[in-house]
Amino acid sequence: MDLNLVVIIAYLVAIVVFGLFMSIYVKKADDYFVGGRAFNHWVVAGSVIGTNVAAIYLVGPAGVAYNSGVPVLMIAWTGNMLAAFSAALFVPRLRRLHITTVPDILETRYNRVVRLLPVILWLFYYAFFTGNNLYALCLCLSTVLDWPVQRLIWTVGPVVVIYSSTAGLLGAAYTDIIQTFLMVIGGVILLPLAMRQVGGVESFIAQTPPELFTFWKAGTNGINWQDLIMFTLTGFPFWCTSQYLLQRTFGGRSIKDASKGLALAAILTGPLTLCYILPGMCGRIIYSGDKALANSDQILPMLFKDIIPAGLGGIFIAALIAASYSTIAAVLNASATLFTNDIYRPARPACSSTHYTWVGRGVTVLVGLIAMFFALNVEKLGGIINANYEIMTFFEPPIFVVVCAALFWRSITNKAAIATLVGGTLVNAFCTWGLHMGPAYRSFVIFPACFAILFLVSALTRNSAKQQNRVDRFLATLSPGALDLRSTRFLAGLAISVLSLAAFVLCSVYERLLPKPANVFVFLALVTGFVAGVLVMLPKVIGREVDSPLGENDALSKSLVNRVLSSGYLWLAVYAFAGGLMFFLYYAG
């Protein structure tokens, strides 16, 4: 049997066994849905990275880089800045409420109808999003194993669903850390070998047209400035209000751990993305002329087949499997949490915690089946990245606007929230099927339209006195309390973030003046600077704590698994090893 296949099968079996092992710590519904709220900031960071950096954001973007160069990096890098923004403003408010799902706050702030509408939208969105992730994974495996994509969907899909339905968030969070380390190792193996394949860094630069190192450009060939703005706009709901991502932070044992974990994930993700995007660009040189790929999404698995030695290749493909497992498990777990806590539990409030856990597992299986059917149709939507943004721009904007209003605006009425959810979805449907707008232009329309509906209807309607009193009590609960905004730490962090953001904007406007490809590392440094500034001032902006710093699952907190995987020293060791391995493979491999 092929050595790479042995590694892949061994990994699939091991990850299911680990998920089953972690299920012994699932004693109540909170353990399954929010990990017992026992995660420190390193566990939160690993879970966020493992959830975010999936095959859909590795295989798809690498395929785009094969055609269009570095602009696709802005999916991750603007996302890192928005993650830091969310860590400072959104996560503390949401975590302070001790909620399980984002819609939990909507019934308190608005009413039952406003809570249910986003749940319905999200369940459809997450089923389709999971299918897109599953397709990305199976496309990669198809190239490597020479199996049809359809067969892989029905082979790999059930394994992911079984794993996701065993330990819920508690098991997924710790496997995310392991899988994040695999992605790091896989990336640092691929990058130097791809560079050596094209003759080294200097040869790579010489053979790559300068325009492929330009982020902000006009035209319709590949990614342009409209797409970059779309990446940023859709990043707001992804990082600030998305249930499946924020659920990782809800598992934080304190507000500080939840926010710091998200900010750490934003810093650690920046360099990692380069390890997968630059090899995609190397593929333009390796597979040129008659070797050019008909399907650019196959570039990463093709590089795996052709340039990575057997065995090491198994580690790389295991990293891609790891990435997809993390995201699919996160989305399936979020779907189960949404249905169980926002639809089923209110209808049957007297059931046992075990009963709700099994309902969640049943929903996981059902959504997984829908996702498998959707995965069979992704190609009809134009490939992985296009399908992803078609889905995101359709479902997310109305929910984001309504959640923002719940957290930050006192005067927004219940009727305005309902009108925004319904009206925003209808406007989106008209733009999609009536005007045949692509996702970029649709995002320019739908976000302003949702805010316009929200404020217009609020101006024309009023909440009752009883409802307004409830809103005031809700906002008082969100209040961070007295903040020390004159401290040296806050001012230093603010200065770093503001200067980095200002420089980022200036470099974007005058990018033509920057040398290529040095501009890539300039943007990475500025993004990292912005996030680092937020991380510095974070303790001064998150406000008051409301939870015990020990979390709610003492058995898990004291376990060997937690003590090892939640250690910052382990992260330092893995990243140091990865850096050394990358230089060794490039210079001495």
Residues 68-81: what's their mean pLDDT? Answer: 90
Mention every residue, 6+ apart, whose C-beta is less than 8 A from residue 222. Answer: 64, 67, 68, 69, 71
Average pLDDT for the chain? 86
pLDDT of res. 167: 53
pLDDT of res. 147: 84
C-beta of residue 511 within 8 angstroms of C-beta of residue 65 = no
pLDDT, tens digit, 9 for 90 and up, residues 154-212: 888 888 787 677 655 666 778 788 888 888 888 888 999 999 999 999 999 999 998 89
Q: How far apart are the first and last CA of the chain?
A: 26
- Among 82-96, 233-247, 445-459, 524-538, where is mean pLDDT lowest? 233-247
**Total number of domains constituting the chain:** 1
Mention every residue, 6+ apart, whose C-beta is less than 8 A from residue 404. Answer: 240, 241
The helix or strand, by DSSP H or E, that contains position 32, with its residue range, turns out to be helix 29-34
Helix/strand/coil for 214: coil
What are φ and ψ of residue 252, in 5° steps? -65, 140
Domain assignment of residue 328, yes or no: yes
Q: How far apart are CA 92 and CA 557, in angstroms?
A: 22
HSE-CB at 49 with a 13 A cutoff on CA atoms is 31
pLDDT of res. 50: 81
Share above pLDDT 70 across residues of the chain, in percent, rounded to a whole number:
93
pLDDT-derived band at 222 (thresholds 50, 70, 90) equals low
C-beta of residue 218 within 8 angstroms of C-beta of residue 225 = yes
pLDDT-derived band at 501 (thresholds 50, 70, 90) equals very high
pLDDT, tens digit, 9 for 90 and up, residues 514-526: 999 999 999 999 9
pLDDT-derived band at 550 (thresholds 50, 70, 90) equals very low
Domain assignment of residue 497, yes or no: no
pLDDT-derived band at 237 (thresholds 50, 70, 90) equals very high
User: Taking 80 as the threshold, does the pLDDT of residue 584 lie above it?
Assistant: yes
pLDDT of res. 572: 92
Question: Model pTM?
Answer: 0.88
Residues 353-357: what's their mean pLDDT? Answer: 82
pLDDT-derived band at 439 (thresholds 50, 70, 90) equals confident
pLDDT, tens digit, 9 for 90 and up, residues 299-351: 888 888 788 877 777 777 776 776 677 678 778 877 888 898 888 988 888 78
User: Taking 70 as the threshold, does the pLDDT of residue 219 lie above it?
Assistant: no
**CA dihedral angle for residue 214, residue 219, residue 225, residue 230, rounded to 10 degrees:** -130
Domain assignment of residue 111, yes or no: yes
Q: How far apart are CA 221 and CA 462, in angstroms?
A: 49
pLDDT of res. 503: 97
State the alpha helices, DSSP H only, in 430-510: 439-460, 465-478, 488-509
User: Taking 70 as the threshold, does the pLDDT of residue 221 lie above it?
Assistant: no
Share above pLDDT 90 across residues of the chain, in percent, rounded to a whole number:
33
pLDDT, tens digit, 9 for 90 and up, residues 287-296: 987 788 877 8
What is the domain range of residue 194?
Answer: 3-375+462-480+542-587
Give me the CATH number covering residue 350.
Answer: 1.20.1730.10
Domain assignment of residue 134, yes or no: yes
pLDDT of res. 88: 94
Which residue, 276, 275, 284, is CA-closest to 208? 284
Domain assignment of residue 498, yes or no: no
pLDDT, tens digit, 9 for 90 and up, residues 358-379: 888 888 889 989 999 999 888 7
Domain assignment of residue 520, yes or no: no
Which residue, 245, 125, 205, is CA-closest to 521? 205
Domain assignment of residue 41, yes or no: yes
Q: How far apart are CA 130 and CA 227, in angstroms?
A: 23
pLDDT, tens digit, 9 for 90 and up, residues 441-487: 899 999 999 999 999 999 999 988 888 898 888 888 888 877 778 89
288-293's contacts with Cβ under 8 Å and 24+ in sequence apart are: 293/66
C-beta of residue 380 within 8 angstroms of C-beta of residue 141 = no
Q: How many CB atoms lie within 10 A of CB 129?
A: 27
Domain assignment of residue 208, yes or no: yes
User: Taking 50 as the threshold, does the pLDDT of residue 414 lie above it?
Assistant: yes
